[in-house]
Amino acid sequence: MAMPVHNFLPCLINNSPQTQDIRSMKLLISAVFAFSTTALAAQTEPQIKPQAGNWSTEATFYAQTGNNALRFGLNDIKIRRFSSDRMVQRLRLLATQNNETTVIVGSMGNMERSIKEGSIFIAPGFEKHLAGTRRLSPYWGTELVLGKSFYEYNLTNSTNGQTFTQGGTFNTTTKKSVSVGATMIFGADFYLGKQLFIGAEVGYGFLYQNFGNSHVTVKSNGNITDQRSVPMGKNQGLTLFANPGIRVGIAI
């Protein structure tokens, strides 16, 4: 049975060399259009997270409440280097110092108490960032914690550090207090804008603490009446390192 002419002509047209060239041209134009659209979208949506070669610096701030007035402070500082988009070397620094002087008024007389204390910690480590989202960058990692602390207590008009004794002086100084630990860390950064972020972090690991020796010196009217050294003990075990502050940082 012969095919009607009006049905046969489309077959000839669809398989002609001209028609195949037109189809190839359409496919090429579609591919170029799709590539151009993707590239344009990438240009209009700038990179927010840091990339390989970037550095970031950040500080952790905290707000303390309770019976006292609201108090803000700086907890620690951290520096990071992105060796790749996902791998990061980090170095965390923490230094604290407190000097306090108080006059204690009593019925027998006044005592003046002064406390000086401080510590410094350094914690190198690394982070492995997960895919997350365009703004959220969760990560895990490890860090080594090394620290040293100092404490001094001085009380005038006392020979035992507690009660009043006219002309007495009680002083205790604690030195060689060290801490060593290794922790697993978990955290997340949220990028508010291009490489500007806030974040939070917790850690869990092993900590060894040697509280050093407390050197006690007791004086009466300027003359030394007692001197001794008291070991302050040691402590070790698994510890949860929960940082209550909010990390604020910028990448460059």
Q: Is the pLDDT of residue 65 over 60?
A: no
More confident residue, 124 or 98: 124
- The answer, yes or no, to whether residue 158 has pLDDT greater than 90, is yes
Does residue 41 share a domain with residue 106? no
pLDDT at 172: 96
Q: Any idea which residue has 């020979």 for tokens?
A: 159
Strand-pair partners of 177: 149
Residues 134 and 36 in one domain: no
Does one domain contain both 37 and 138? Answer: no
User: Residue 43 phi/psi, 5° resolution?
Assistant: -75, -35
**Total domain count, the chain:** 2
Question: Are residues 180 and 103 both part of a single domain?
Answer: yes
pLDDT greater than 50 at residue 229 = yes
- Per-residue pLDDT, 142: 96
Q: What are phi and psi of 186, to 5 degrees?
A: -135, 130
Residue 103 shares a structural domain with residue 39: no
CB-CB contact of 176 with 201 (8 Å) = no
Are both 86 and 7 inside the same structural domain?
A: no
For residue 67, what pLDDT is reported? 53
CB 168 within 8 A of CB 158: yes
Tokens for 70, please give them.
């609201």
Record the tokens describing residue 89, joined without a space.
């070397």
Do 242 and 132 share a domain, yes or no?
A: yes
Domain encompassing residue 139: 50-251
Of 30, 45, 60, which one is at a domain's C-terminal end? Answer: 45
Q: Assess whether 139 and 32 both reside in one domain.
A: no
Q: Which residues of 78-112 are buried (b: 16+ CB within 10 A; e: fewer)?
A: bebbbeeebebebebebeeeeeeeeeeeeeeeebe
Residue 125, class by beta-carbon neighbours within 10 Å (0-12 exposed, 13-18 middle, 19+ buried)? Answer: buried
pLDDT (mean) for 33-46: 47
